[in-house]
Structure 1
Amino acid sequence: MDTALTVAAYAIGLLLTLVLASALTPAHWWRRPNARAATLLVAGTWGFGALLAGALQAANPQAVAAYEPPASQYQVFRALNLRDGTGTSAKRLAVVPAGAVVAATGMRDGDWWQVRVKVNGSQLTGWASSLWLRRADEGRR
């Protein structure tokens, strides 16, 4: 995730904590600095900031960390259209023949995976439907 978005999420968390603390706690807590007020500010900022940062990360699928190691190998099940974006309306970059091996980059958007493959001597990176891929070590049935 972008560092600026993370900082913004925690800044908003701090502001939200201050607003809620002023509305929901006794006024005498805030007359002079004390451990109780500091703990409330730190815990609230951390809690709300982490919640907002997680929501921002989930809203941006390109920034989501890969759950599988990079360069996982997959074999193309049937002829596969490699596209420049997700969805069948995206421009087709190439047709990858059945049996070819592709490497997943770890980027995903639903059933669409970003993959790297060598087609006709050139290295291409594009998006493919995961429904047409099988693990390279998986036996064919």
Structure 2
Amino acid sequence: METAKLYAACAFAAGLAITLFLAAYLTPNQWWRRANARALLIMVVGAWGFGSLILYAVQGTRPVAAGTLESTAAAPVPTSAIPDPPNEPDLIAGRPFQVHRDLNLRAAAGVHAARLVTVPMGATVTPTGAREGDWWQVTTSVDGHKKTGWVSSLWLRRDGE
């Protein structure tokens, strides 16, 4: 499971626990004798509300080591983390990227374009420099055949990412 999803799940689980604790002490006992829509509404709204507050409260922190958090406010941003400026395709042309997951190589930019081939996870693709939003034209070798097509840049990673 991705780290962000795990944090969110933990935050909403903690929100549910807080809601149940507060509901046990702040509402009349007769409300909880049998399940009803009111109890369900209190649990859902409380878990959502407290979970959202927890996520908002820790938004400026990031994990550093097991069990520790460090504020990102004072942390310098490495220059390698700054994305390439838009409208400058020559900055990505010729720089190889690794495929993050199996990736559809398409005939044109967009999910509705015909799929030419599936590039396997871990393969290397090289952008040609042509871009349309998040879609990059790339060249790659699949099963010994050189192919050129369009891929979503969201599925590409540089070495070390």
TM-score, length basis structure 1: 0.50
Structure 2 residue matching 1:72: 3-state secondary structure:
coil
- 1:138 counterpart residue number: 160
**Matched residue count:** 75
Q: Cα deviation per residue 1:14-63 (whole Å; 9 max; x = unaligned)?
A: xxxxxxxxxxxxxxxxxxxxxxxxxxxxxxxxxxxxxxxxxxxxxxxxxx
- 2:137 counterpart residue number: 114
Distance 2:109 2:89 in 1: 17
- 2:102 counterpart residue number: 79
1:123 to 2:146 alignment: yes
Distance 2:92 2:113 in 1: 26
TM-score, length basis structure 2: 0.44
Q: Cα deviation per residue 1:103-135 (whole Å; 9 max; x = unaligned)?
A: 011110000000000001100000000010001
Distance 1:129 1:65 in 2: 17
Identity %: 51
Distance 2:104 2:132 in 1: 16
Deviation at 1:65, TM superposition (A): 5.6
Distance 2:128 2:155 in 1: 16
- 1:68 counterpart residue number: 91
Bigger fraction of residues in helix: 1
Distance 1:112 1:85 in 2: 9
> Over aligned residues, Cα RMSD in angstroms?
1.4
Between the two structures, name the one with larger relative contact order (CA 8 Å, sep ≥ 6): 1
Large movers: runs of 4+ above 3 Å: none
Distance 1:123 1:79 in 2: 17
- 1:60 counterpart residue number: none
Unpaired runs of 5+ residues, structure 2, are 1-86
Deviation at 1:69, TM superposition (A): 4.7
- 2:116 counterpart residue number: 93
Deviation at 1:73, TM superposition (A): 0.6
How does 1:17-96 map onto structure 2 within 5 Å? 66-96=89-119
Deviation at 1:91, TM superposition (A): 0.4
